[in-house]
């Protein structure tokens, strides 16, 4: 019997291949070699693990070559890559949550190419504080006594718990031990923060007495977590923020709230009725509120902490803050976002623009598209009312009117169509419902229309192609 590795091509054979060389672009030689070696090694491993399987040298060579070409090409494309969001989900975690739009221009304006005064104060010529400016902006915007910004909301909660509750017990209702998705689970974050979880109440009902029974003044913290991505109905009871704050005050125990979605722009509060509001929690006297900056706040990935100066300063001194703090690029983007908020212009954030586009505007967008006529490969492409969602774990049941395309193709199933759109050079992401493929125009930017048009033209073909 032939040696199982006899069919394996050499690294040099692949390196010499013209198609591979073309795919490599300006990838330097040592890295080309390493890329190929890794591909060959992984195939060698597979051959050794399955010695019974017979391999012909030709197909094996093509398969390794293909893999190398795909990897080399992938290295040339920017990442993350632009996609067209046709899902109708405004804050889509897999698609990067809130879109940044013109916020990214801040990167040019603040001249980040050279050195910056990130941590230097020209007045005193001494070391400055990298987020003092953000703190001032957030104080003005929210009225909070103090503020701090870290990597994301998970980090914010972790820093708050580690600072305020390390080696203490944290009381939280059993109905709020939530999983947000993407590995955020409240109990896991607590454990990693070094505090002891004390579940109180039951899955559906928790009342103030449940907290009162277990709270130990001096060695407890009360935590409220926004349920975010699910709702409970029926035989349900929850403890309000007011009650928790009153209990905390009475016993001298801090109250932390994980707000999650970060609704700060008050003008939208009315539209998003059930969404918890950051300012509301502060007004009610919560000691520390944390939220994400890339959900309803509409900016980059970050976590915002707001609350009393005493607690925020303790967090700033915590060595964990050094681990979780932001870099200059993200600080510049948040600075730009907060300027919009402070100008009373949060409505011009891309997220809120998409949210506010009227059905007439969406219709006008669709009217700009040349929809394929029957006689092409399309069975039908028609404009249809759809329902958009906020997403990002905010208000799971809130749907709002939207408009989009319903697409049917003679040769491709809805799932196949979805795949074709998703695998284009600029992926277009839609969804399948009851056997049809849909693209929601609410989450598409006007700049996305040419890309949609190209996809429709290319997938539709001409009438002749059908013959």
Ligand X SMILES: *Cc1c(COP(=O)(O)O)cnc(C)c1O
Using CB under 6 A, list all residues that contact ligand X: 152-154, 180, 184, 225-226, 228, 258, 260-261, 292, 303, 393
Which of 23, 225 has the CB closer to ligand X? 225
Inter-CA distances, 155 with 159, 163, 300, 447, Å: 6, 12, 14, 34
Least Å from the CB of residue 25 to ligand X: 34
One DSSP character per residue, 346-366 reads GGGSHHHHHHH--HHHHHHHH
Q: Closer to ligand X by CB, 90 or 412: give it.
A: 90
What is the smallest separation between the CB atom of 156 and ligand X, expressed in angstroms?
8
Complex with ligand X: residue 67 or 261, whichever CB lies closer = 261
CA distance 343 to 95: 28
**Structural contact between residues 25 and 76, judged by C-beta atoms closer than 8 angstroms:** yes
DSSP string, 189-236: HHHHHT-EEEEES-SSB--HHHHHHH--TTSEEEEEE--TT----SS-
Shortest distance, position 179 Cβ to ligand X, whole Å: 10
Minimum distance from CB of 292 to ligand X (Å)? 3
Distance CA 140, CA 134 (A): 10
Nearest approach in angstroms of CB 152 to ligand X is 3
Q: How far is the CB of 393 from ligand X (least distance, A)?
A: 4
Which residue lies nearer to ligand X by CB, 277 or 409? 277
Structure tokens at 349: 């954030």
Please choose, from the candidates 341, 414, 296, the residue with its C-alpha nearest in 3D space to the C-alpha of residue 139.
Answer: 341
Output 152 or 173, the one with its CB closest to ligand X.
152
Q: How far is the CB of 260 from ligand X (least distance, A)?
A: 2
- In the complex, the smallest distance separating the C-beta of residue 230 from ligand X, rounded to whole angstroms, is 11
Between CA 182 and CA 349 the distance in angstroms is: 25
- Compare residues 149 and 340 and give the one whose CB is closer to ligand X: 149
Q: How far is the CB of 98 from ligand X (least distance, A)?
A: 11
Question: What is the rounded CA–CA span in Å between residue 220 and residue 40?
Answer: 57
**In the complex, least distance from residue 261 CB atom to ligand X, rounded to whole angstroms:** 5
In this structure, how many other beta carbons lie within 10 angstroms of the beta carbon of residue 230? Answer: 11
Q: Cβ of residue 199: shortest distance to ligand X, in angstroms?
A: 17
Nearer to ligand X, 15 or 188 (CB): 188
220-225 vs 169-173, strand pairing mode: parallel
Check: CB of residue 392 under 8 Å from CB of residue 93.
yes
Residue nearest to ligand X (CB): 260
Name residues whose C-beta falls within 8 Å of residue 460's C-beta, 6 or more positions apart in sequence: 372, 376, 377, 378, 381
Q: Between 85 and 299, whose beta carbon lies closer to ligand X?
A: 299
What's the CA gap between 396 and 402, in Å, rounded?
A: 16
Burial of 171 (0-12, 13-18, 19+ CB in 10 A): buried
Alpha helical stretches, state H, 77-217: 106-109, 132-142, 153-165, 186-193, 208-214
Residue 154 vs 315, nearer CB to ligand X: 154
**Comparison of 176 and 448: residue with beta carbon closer to ligand X:** 176
**Secondary structure of residue 107 in the 3-state scheme:** helix
Stretch (H or E) spanning 404: strand 394-409
Do 36 and 66 form a contact (C-beta atoms < 8 A)?
Answer: no
Q: Taking Cα atoms as reference points, which of 265, 343, 331 lies closest to residue 298? A: 265
Question: Is 36 or 154 the residue whose CB approaches ligand X more closely?
Answer: 154
């Amino acid at each position: 019997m032939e040696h199982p590795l006899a069919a394996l091509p050499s690294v040099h054979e692949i390196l010499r291949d013209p198609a591979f060389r073309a795919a490599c672009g300006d990838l330097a030689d040592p890295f080309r070699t390493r890329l190929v070696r890794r591909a060959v090694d992984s195939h060698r491993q597979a051959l050794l693990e399955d010695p019974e399987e017979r391999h012909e040298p030709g197909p094996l060579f093509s398969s390794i070559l293909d893999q190398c070409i795909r990897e080399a090409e992938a290295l040339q494309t920017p990442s993350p890559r632009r996609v067209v969001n046709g899902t109708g989900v405004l804050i889509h975690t897999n698609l990067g949550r809130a879109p940044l739009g013109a916020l990214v221009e801040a990167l040019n304006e603040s001249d980040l190419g050279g050195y910056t005064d990130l941590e230097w104060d020209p007045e005193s010529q001494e070391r400055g504080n990298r987020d003092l400016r953000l703190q001032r902006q957030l104080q003005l915007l929210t009225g909070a006594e103090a503020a701090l910004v870290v990597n994301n909301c998970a980090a914010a909660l972790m820093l708050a718990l580690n600072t305020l509750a390390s080696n203490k017990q944290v009381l939280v209702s059993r109905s709020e031990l939530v999983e947000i998705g993407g590995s955020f689970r409240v109990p896991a974050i607590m454990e990693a923060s070094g505090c002891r979880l004390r579940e109180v109440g039951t899955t559906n009902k928790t009342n103030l007495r449940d907290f009162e029974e277990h709270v130990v003044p001096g060695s407890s913290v009360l935590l409220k977590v926004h349920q975010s991505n699910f709702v409970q109905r029926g035989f349900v009871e929850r403890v309000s923020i007011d009650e928790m704050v009153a209990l905390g005050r009475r016993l001298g125990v801090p109250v932390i709230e994980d707000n999650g979605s970060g609704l700060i722009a008050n003008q939208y509060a009315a539209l998003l009725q059930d969404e918890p509001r950051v300012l509301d929690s502060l007004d009610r006297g919560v000691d520390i509120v944390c939220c994400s900056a890339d959900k309803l706040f509409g900016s980059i990935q970050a976590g915002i902490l707001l609350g009393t100066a005493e607690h925020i300063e303790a967090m700033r001194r915590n060595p964990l803050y050094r681990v979780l703090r932001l870099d200059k690029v993200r600080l510049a983007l948040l600075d730009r976002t907060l300027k919009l908020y402070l100008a009373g212009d949060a409505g011009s954030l891309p997220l809120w623009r998409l949210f506010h586009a009227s059905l007439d505007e969406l219709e006008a967008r669709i009217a700009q598209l040349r929809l394929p006529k029957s006689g092409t490969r399309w069975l039908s492409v028609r404009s249809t009312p759809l329902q958009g969602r906020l997403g990002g774990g905010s208000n799971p049941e809130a749907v709002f009117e939207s408009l989009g395309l319903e697409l049917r193709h003679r040769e491709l199933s809805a799932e196949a169509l979805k795949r074709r759109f998703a695998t284009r050079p600029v992926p277009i992401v839609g969804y399948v419902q009851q056997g049809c493929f849909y693209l929601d125009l609410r989450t598409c930017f006007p700049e996305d229309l040419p890309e949609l048009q190209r996809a429709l033209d290319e997938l539709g073909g001409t009438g002749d192609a059908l013959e």
